């Protein structure tokens, strides 16, 4: 008896067989829209998520404001550390400095905050950007309160102090504006 030869195997090319590809994608659960209206191209992107969803849609001028803030914090910190007498003189118009230590401590704190500002300039994470903006707003707000309280205590009103207060109120407003703009949910298109 002669052994019967099995018929030759036909290879199925699933890449070219459209019906087979659609059935496979349907079984895997990819290719269709999910609850958020997103179409996933692969199971991996469906499981891991889409990184575009996490990208921050930055408000106009945010990076410029972050850069200006970092430069401002760094400049005042260096001035407070290196030249405490001159910084005090600029703000309080010739009032006598009793001790340089508090001004230098202030400079050290500002330098620490400025390092955070510089690092936030290079991040795309929404949470870090928002926390940095909130830190700025709180700092400027507290500075306004402290300067106002010292004005009430001493009664010395100068052009430098008034400019300082006005600029700090402006900076609080800008920081809070960007804080809310970064935190806003994007509109679905």
Residues 6+ apart with CB under 8 A from 59: 178, 181, 182
**Which among 116, 137, 118 is positioned nearest to 179, based on CA atoms?**
137
Answer whether residue 162 is part of any domain.
Answer: yes
Higher model confidence: residue 95 or residue 116?
116
Q: Cα–chain-centroid distance for residue 140?
A: 18
Answer whether residue 87 is part of any domain.
Answer: yes
Answer whether residue 91 is part of any domain.
Answer: yes
pLDDT value at 189 more than 70: no
Answer whether residue 13 is part of any domain.
Answer: no
DSSP of 100-148, one letter per residue?
A: SHHHHHHHHHHHHHHHHHHHHHT---HHHHHHHHHHHHHHHHHHHHHHH
The pLDDT assigned to 167 comes to: 92
Answer whether residue 50 is part of any domain.
Answer: no
**Which among 160, 129, 130 is positioned nearest to 147, based on CA atoms?**
160
Instruction: Check if the beta carbon of residue 160 is closer than 8 Å to that of residue 93.
Output: yes
Tally of domains within the chain = 1
- For the chain, the straight-line distance linking the first and the last C-alpha, in angstroms and rounded, comes to 72
Q: Which domain range does residue 139 map to?
A: 56-183
Range in 4-18, 55-69, 127-141, 164-178 the model is least confident about: 4-18
Higher model confidence: residue 19 or residue 160?
160
The pLDDT assigned to 124 comes to: 86
Name the residue with tokens 């575009």.
Answer: 52
Answer whether residue 60 is part of any domain.
Answer: yes
Answer whether residue 135 is part of any domain.
Answer: yes
């Amino acid at each position: 008896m002669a052994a019967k030869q099995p018929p030759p195997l036909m290879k199925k090319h699933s890449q070219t067989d459209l019906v087979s590809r659609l059935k496979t994608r349907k079984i895997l659960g990819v290719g269709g829209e999910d609850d958020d209206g997103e179409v996933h191209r692969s199971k991996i992107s469906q499981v891991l998520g889409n990184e575009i969803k996490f990208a921050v849609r930055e408000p106009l001028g945010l990076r410029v404001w972050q850069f200006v803030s970092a430069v401002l914090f760094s400049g005042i910190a260096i001035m407070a550390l290196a030249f405490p007498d001159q910084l005090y003189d600029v703000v309080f118009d010739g009032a006598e400095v009793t001790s340089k230590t508090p001004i230098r401590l202030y400079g050290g704190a500002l330098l620490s905050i400025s390092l955070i500002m510089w690092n936030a300039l290079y991040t795309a994470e929404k949470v870090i950007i928002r926390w940095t903006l909130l830190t700025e707003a709180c700092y400027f707000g507290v500075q306004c309160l402290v300067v106002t309280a010292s004005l009430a205590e001493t009664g010395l009103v100068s052009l430098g102090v008034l400019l300082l207060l006005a600029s700090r109120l402006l900076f609080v407003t800008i920081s809070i504006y960007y804080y809310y703009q970064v935190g806003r949910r994007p509109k679905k298109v």
